Amino acid sequence: VDEPIPFDAVIAILRLSNKYDIHPFRQKSIQELKKVFPCTLHDYDSIYPNDTYTTLSWSHIVKSIYLARACNTLELLPFIFYILGQVSMNVLFRSHAILPRTEMEICLLGREKLQEMRETVAFSYLIDPKSSQHCLNPTICEQQRLLSLNALISERFHAGTRALMKADLETLEMIFCRPCAEEKLSIHLAAREKLWNDLPSYFGLGTWEELRSAQK
């Protein structure tokens, strides 16, 4: 029996098991929440292979912040704030009544950081002008790099905070020659891993390890 438990039920179970200190139920509900709010990059990639987060309502996301703080499951927070960073400013500001000011501040500061990171870390493969030593046609690769960079900059206000967006070899080969694409891919994957590792710090939450040990 491993069907997903409805989100509201998971929340209720975590609250109760936390209140009455029922360890197995608490663990189970945390496990369920991690299927929505991943705590490793590996889990993120299997849960959100296309980087779209449509399964959760806005009110569930806000409820989850309260829950994570109240039940000391802080490990869930970096991803909750990451998703919150995808919400439009318009929606965010209309929610000031349900989202406390302190959480709003964390969200906005993190959002700014994500935007910066998206450009400097997640897309470092477009910013770094270095072609592969084995490049098949440096002039074309450089030209393609600049075109893609230009496209990225002009669309950044639409997808500005989706810093974890993943590129694959197929996509990169549409821009670069094969040897360049392979090198750019490994730069991209390393940068993305760094971004994931630093994610808690964007929201003033320290490191993943600190969050993990704080909730035991």
Positions that interact with Zn ion (CB under 5 A): 131, 135, 141, 177, 180
Nearer CB in complex with Zn ion: 87/149: 149
Which residue is listed with tokens 């919400």? 87
Rounded to whole angstroms, the Cα distance separating 34 from 134 reads: 42
Which residue is listed with tokens 């936390």? 18
Cβ atoms of 186 and 180 within 8 Å: the answer is no
Nearer CB in complex with Zn ion: 180/191: 180
In whole angstroms, how close is the CB of 148 to Zn ion at the nearest point? 13
Sign of the alpha-carbon dihedral angle for 48, 51, 57, 62: positive
Nearer CB in complex with Zn ion: 59/143: 143
Nearer CB in complex with Zn ion: 39/175: 175
In whole angstroms, how close is the CB of 172 to Zn ion at the nearest point? 10
In whole angstroms, how close is the CB of 144 to Zn ion at the nearest point? 8
Rounded to whole angstroms, the Cα distance separating 52 from 87 reads: 12
Which residue is listed with tokens 């929201």? 203
Nearer CB in complex with Zn ion: 173/198: 173
In whole angstroms, how close is the CB of 131 to Zn ion at the nearest point? 5
Cβ atoms of 53 and 20 within 8 Å: the answer is no
In whole angstroms, how close is the CB of 176 to Zn ion at the nearest point? 5
Phi/psi for 73 (5° steps) reads -115, 60
Three-state SS for 123? coil
Rounded to whole angstroms, the Cα distance separating 101 from 113 reads: 18
